[in-house]
Amino acid sequence: MALEIGEECVQSLGCLGDRSDSELEALARAVNSVLVDSQREDVALNSPVLEKMDVDLIKTAYSALVCLFVEAAKNNVSEKSVVMFLWSECGVPEPQGKLVAEVFESKKEALRRVMSRTGNWSSIPRLVGVDWRLEYHVLSSTEIQDHPPRELLYHCAMKTAEKQMVTLDGETDGKIDFVCSVEQLQDLVSTLKDACKAVERVVHQG
């Protein structure tokens, strides 16, 4: 089965043949880690093996492998077919292609399960808006010993199109409420920005 991957992505995959086995394995495992285990890219790519690689080359190769793994998992492509695609379409020598394919195959079923869950939009609330307000949390006398006497907290409410959430009164509500500190909100925003950048790279590569 042919894989529908853009020409730019094919060219980027072609560069994999010039990398060492350890670099290829580190890149492929980083892709699996992010796609299946929901690990952040900066953490997954923080490998001593990749330290000597050019940063732009890492990003290009990583994005290309994401496209390959997602497309191959979507079509349930075999390990042998991935090797053949890398060799015939991308010019990657068979030994390097086999190494990448083996790493992909090790997590293929897990990736397919993740993709089947995320593809089932009917079971996932659809976000339609967000409300927030800044609050002060005044601590009790017993809490002050380990914390500052006043803490800034954000109260956020994600509004969904579905009325699936149940309030304390037993009524249905389309909001998902949570409270977080300034640092936690900054980390959330940073993570979402990383997700947006990852999607943009995949779209451009495809």
User: Regarding predicted confidence, which is higher, 28 or 191?
Assistant: 28
**Cα separation, 155 vs 6, whole angstroms:** 43
Domain assignments of the chain as residue spans, ordered by start:
7-121, 127-205
**Cα separation, 77 vs 87, whole angstroms:** 15
With tokens 């690689």, the residue in question is 53
Lowest average pLDDT, out of 83-92, 94-103, 139-148, 191-200, goes to 139-148
Radius of gyration of the chain (CA): 22
Average of pLDDT values for 155-179?
68
Dump pLDDT digits (tens) for 70-117. Answer: 999 989 999 999 999 999 999 999 999 999 999 999 999 999 988 877
Q: What is the pTM of this model?
A: 0.61
3-state DSSP call for residue 1?
coil
- In this model, does residue 139 exceed pLDDT 80? no
